Structure 1
Amino acid sequence: MKLQDDLKNTDQLLQLTKDFSSEFLSGIDHVAADKAVTLSVEKNIPVQGLGGAAALELFKQRYGSSIAAAVGPRYWGFVTGGVTPASLMGDWITSTIDLNASDKSSAAYYIETETIALLKQLFRLPEDFIGAFVSGATMSNFTGLALGRQWLGKQRGIDIGRDGMAGLQNLTVVSCTPHSSVSKSMAMLGLGRNNIVKLPSLPNRESVNIAALRDYLDAHADQPVIFSASAGTVNTVDFDDLAALAVLKKEYNFWLHIDAAFGGFAACSDRYKHLLEGWEFADSITIDAHKWLNVPYDAAMIFSRHPELHVEVFQNAGAAYLGDPAEQFNYINYIPENSRRQRALPAWFSLMAYGLDGYREIVETNVQLAQELGALLDNDPQFTLLSPVRMCVVCFTLNVPSDIQEEAVNKFLNALNATGVVCMTRTVYGGQPGIRAALVNWRTAQEDVAVAYQTMKEVAAATLNQYSYA
């Protein structure tokens, strides 16, 4: 039987896996940052099975040439960090020991508890915040908004977690520049994505106009709401004025959820921590680990100041084998998932390996490089910055007439990503078609900015030549 053969040869299989991984990572600078692939998908499971070694060979033949360098230094598409060497160690061990992070009969619970404590120090969050790992920023936003929904119901005398939402109306989420996962979470929570109220921003910003929020709260004084704040928008890394929101919370009755998926890492740096002043008064906070923490997918954290609401929403009521939530703490009663991978361990390894100074250096280096790229583009007549470079995202467009801008931007971006040198994503900012480059990878260095910019200049010139604007 193939399984028994693999058991006898486990060491050899692990060595083959290590060899593949080492070869990939050692050549990461020469792997395309983006690849457009079309593959035929095999839908028939083998009857006898191939065994692990043959399966690896088949994987390399079928998919090896189609793997992009998403962990490489010039993947600037989604706001995705790379994988630090120590977090890779933690991730391999996580798969090896395969612990259920919700099982208190092993070290898993204590690993997560310790890692959350380390993260609260990294983010300078108060000790009384509860935290837990979830699969990503979407699930973290979902959890924070679920807590907010429970709070909304209790303001009206209804326990939504217990009795549902029947009869409740006007359950509103207010925001300025919410991430798409906020409206997605609202749809999943029964709040309805159309029930998000978008308030105006400050001029040429993605930060909420506090005066407009105050006016809204005054006009809805009898209606408790959730305000979903941004601490790092995806286009420009703009921050709502969290200190002003903290002041408003003392005057008005609203739930403050902060989406700080990657902006929360401003706390790592004395240069940028002021952007988060006041976030300690939030009711719930989203932070994504597989962004600037540079650990593997999928890992994020939810932090909140309301452990009792967690239990009201997420408790496993009536499951005798899981224990009584009122008698003993267990993460399964505080987040959506019961069975969970030990997501904390890669983060624990990386935090222990590189410490506060290591993450400060990652954040400050990425910001410096983004600002250098922004300066290059700002001084290049082929490009126009759509926003100042506030932290790690450069938002820009081609300097062409508006009637051809969308077509030109699409052509430029497709051609740029096709070079494999760098990967960026399309966006729209201020009504203009644009491009965003997100630098959150620990590998990214000055030479990466130089080679990317040189490629951008060449592709832009070729694109503009098509319109006689070179």
Structure 2
Amino acid sequence: MNKLLQSDLSEFESLLEKVKSQGLDYINTIDDRPTSSHQKIPETLGLDKQGLGGRKTLQLFNERFEPLIVSSSGPRFWGYVIGGSTPASIMGDWLASIYDQNPQAIKGTGDISANIELETIQLILDLFDLPKSYVGGFVTGATMSNFTCLAVARQWIGKTAGKDFAKEGITEKIPVLTATPHSSAIKSLALLGMGSNNIVKIKTIEGHKEAISIDDLEAQIKKLNGRPFILISSAGTVNTVDFDDFKAIKKLKETYNFWWHTDAAFGGFAACSNTHKHFLEDWDYSDSITLDCHKWLNVPYESAVFLVKEEHRLLQTESFQNSNAPYLGDPLENFNYLNFLPENSRRLKALPAWFSLRAYGKEGYTSIVENSIGLAQYFGKKIEESHDFKLLAPVRLNNIVFNLKRKPNQNVLDAFLNQLNGSGKVFMTPTFYHDEKAIRASFVNWRTTEKDVDLVCEEMQRIINAI
């Protein structure tokens, strides 16, 4: 054995204690760690011939990169819809690395950790009150979840025309109807060969809405003259968390032949709220659903779930099966994630989610979601009462979209946001809402409190007064 490997193995407990101590220091001081970094980016170093060993490598990391690490998992990082990791999810994540499983098969004598994943999917269905008629699995994020669901939708479109797109390739344009899709869904259309520009854009409801106009949707459906299509609906748009009318879409599905995909990356968590779950009525009639766990489930990156109705199991297998691996047997008789999702090699992504769901249960996640919604409303009220800021859309769930009250030019708004983020006390993201440049804040972190909102509002006021 290599001497450095042997040395690290003999000191393994001590090395892990140092990492644990450093990790606890980050967690215990996360409120004070800046949300942005002004550190100089170090020059790239080449590979050492002999290596440094674990202890010196940790020291090198701390010298070169640790100061760059921002509190993106902290209570005032309100950009990109990032959830912080719960204590239990970190436990699961550490063990996922230690056990280093490749969860694929559920039978046999090899790695059968995929059974943990199957159970975790059932816990997620319970959390969202979804029927057991969905097959699900873990992927890296909303992009791959949308990709997986839309790949099965693509195969469904082909089969309606008597073709196998997975084997033969796409031979015709596939109609995709949507109003306010997330960029990851558009990227997925490009990756799947359906074309990111080949969508039929549906009008949104008039006023400050991002939801599909059902009247325009039906008008566009009629123009297809009975041709099957894919509908991408939103359970929480990226800016204002607007929800499409699922009851109306369900009614359309009774008349027209289409694949219904719902992107519920973080808006699906409204199902955990006693006051907001009505937004999701009838979403369980979707053929497929995207959920993002490293958002409101508050587990570490990379973690998302795809859900596809079990009745489409054959189509999913046709889309992803390892056709050149006959030793795997019949993919429908011998379940194996190799045949149900894009990756052949995966870490045990389900374990952090399993730990967190088991640790905190339905009531725990209801409290996380309700707290986030309450804080969004609190911040929204502060914006409404301000003399300097204005809300651009009503607070529907957990996102705030706002602007400066005085008519700003782009430079003033950019200067304000750059100074705000540069303060290191909070991080928000720029966005566009109805062609107007704006700022978006998203509440999903289990640590955030009203004190954090008050601190941010004070900083916003200080900066706008200076400008």
Could you tell me which residue of structure 1 aligns to residue 261 of structure 2? 257
Q: 1:201 aligns with which of 177, 201, 204?
A: 204
Residue 432 (structure 1) shift: 1.0
Could you tell me which residue of structure 2 aligns to residue 316 of structure 1? 322
Could you tell me which residue of structure 2 aligns to residue 162 of structure 1? 167
Residue 78 (structure 1) shift: 0.6
CA RMSD of aligned residues (A): 1.1
Could you tell me which residue of structure 1 aligns to residue 428 of structure 2? 424
Could you tell me which residue of structure 1 aligns to residue 48 of structure 2? 46
Could you tell me which residue of structure 2 aligns to residue 152 of structure 1? 157
Residue 222 (structure 1) shift: 2.9
Q: Distance in 2 between matches of 1:233 and 1:461?
A: 32
Could you tell me which residue of structure 1 aligns to residue 70 of structure 2? 68
* Greater shift in the superposed pair: 323-332 or 212-221: 323-332
Partners of 2:84 and 2:445 within 8 A in 1: yes
Could you tell me which residue of structure 2 aligns to residue 178 of structure 1? 181
Could you tell me which residue of structure 2 aligns to residue 440 of structure 1? 444
Residue 103 (structure 1) shift: 4.2
Task: Give 1:72-87 correspondences, 5 Å limit.
Answer: 72-87=74-89
Could you tell me which residue of structure 2 aligns to residue 100 of structure 1? 102
Letter in 1 for 2:360: Y
Indicate the SS of the match to 1:194. Answer: coil
Could you tell me which residue of structure 2 aligns to residue 122 of structure 1? 127
Partners of 1:398 and 1:408 within 8 A in 2: no
* Greater shift in the superposed pair: 31-40 or 340-349: 31-40
Task: Give 1:232-247 correspondences, 5 Å limit.
Answer: 232-247=236-251
Deviations 1:428-465 (A, max 9, x none): 101111000001000001111110111111112222xx
Residue 110 (structure 1) shift: 1.1
Deviations 1:204-257 (A, max 9, x none): 200000000011111112321111001111110001111111111001111110
Partners of 1:35 and 1:417 within 8 A in 2: no
Which segments of 5 or more consecutive residues in structure 2 lack a partner in the other structure?
Answer: none
Partners of 2:42 and 2:64 within 8 A in 1: no
Could you tell me which residue of structure 2 aligns to residue 467 of structure 1? none
Partners of 1:34 and 1:75 within 8 A in 2: no
Does 1:3 find its partner at 2:5?
Answer: yes
Q: 1:188 aligns with which of 173, 186, 191?
A: 191
Residue 320 (structure 1) shift: 3.0
Indicate the SS of the match to 1:285. Answer: strand
Does 1:21 find its partner at 2:23?
Answer: yes
Q: Distance in 1 between matches of 2:386 and 2:151?
A: 46
Q: Distance in 2 between matches of 1:398 and 1:74?
A: 20
Task: Give 1:254-403 correspondences, 5 Å limit.
Answer: 254-305=258-309, 306-401=312-407
Q: Distance in 2 between matches of 1:219 and 1:14?
A: 63
Does 1:133 find its partner at 2:128?
Answer: no
Q: Distance in 1 between matches of 2:134 and 2:38?
A: 43
Q: Distance in 2 between matches of 1:75 and 1:13?
A: 30
Deviations 1:377-419 (A, max 9, x none): 1110100101011111010001122xx4311110000000011
Deviations 1:247-272 (A, max 9, x none): 11001111110000000101112211
Residue 19 (structure 1) shift: 0.7
Q: Distance in 2 between matches of 1:210 and 1:19?
A: 55
Residue 37 (structure 1) shift: 4.5
Residue 373 (structure 1) shift: 0.3
Partners of 2:239 and 2:433 within 8 A in 1: yes
Q: 2:416 aligns with which of 409, 412, 419?
A: 412
Q: Distance in 1 between matches of 2:40 and 2:313?
A: 47
Q: TM-score, normalised by structure 2?
A: 0.97
Residue 197 (structure 1) shift: 1.5
Partners of 2:36 and 2:424 within 8 A in 1: yes
Q: Distance in 1 between matches of 2:39 and 2:169?
A: 45
Letter in 2 for 1:129: Y
Q: Distance in 1 between matches of 2:315 and 2:128?
A: 23
Q: Distance in 2 between matches of 1:86 and 1:353?
A: 6
Q: Distance in 2 between matches of 1:107 and 1:457?
A: 55
Q: Distance in 2 between matches of 1:183 and 1:269?
A: 29
Seq. identity, %: 47
Partners of 1:398 and 1:405 within 8 A in 2: no
Deviations 1:22-43 (A, max 9, x none): 1111100110112244413323
Count of residue correspondences: 459
Indicate the SS of the match to 2:61. Answer: helix
Does 1:227 find its partner at 2:231?
Answer: yes
Could you say if the C-alpha distance between residues 224 and 41 of structure 1 is closer, same or farther in structure 2, counting changes exceeding 3 Å?
A: farther
Partners of 1:256 and 1:284 within 8 A in 2: yes
Partners of 2:203 and 2:216 within 8 A in 1: yes
Q: Distance in 2 between matches of 1:267 and 1:332?
A: 30
Could you say if the C-alpha distance between residues 38 and 196 of structure 1 is closer, same or farther in structure 2, counting changes exceeding 3 Å?
A: farther
Which segments of 5 or more consecutive residues in structure 1 lack a partner in the other structure?
Answer: 464-470
Partners of 2:375 and 2:453 within 8 A in 1: yes
Q: TM-score, normalised by structure 1?
A: 0.96
Partners of 1:405 and 1:433 within 8 A in 2: no
Partners of 2:104 and 2:112 within 8 A in 1: no
Deviations 1:151-199 (A, max 9, x none): 111111111112211xx32312110000011111111000011101211
Deviations 1:61-106 (A, max 9, x none): 1011111000000000011100000000000000000000114433
Q: Distance in 1 between matches of 2:338 and 2:275?
A: 37
Q: Distance in 1 between matches of 2:361 and 2:134?
A: 21
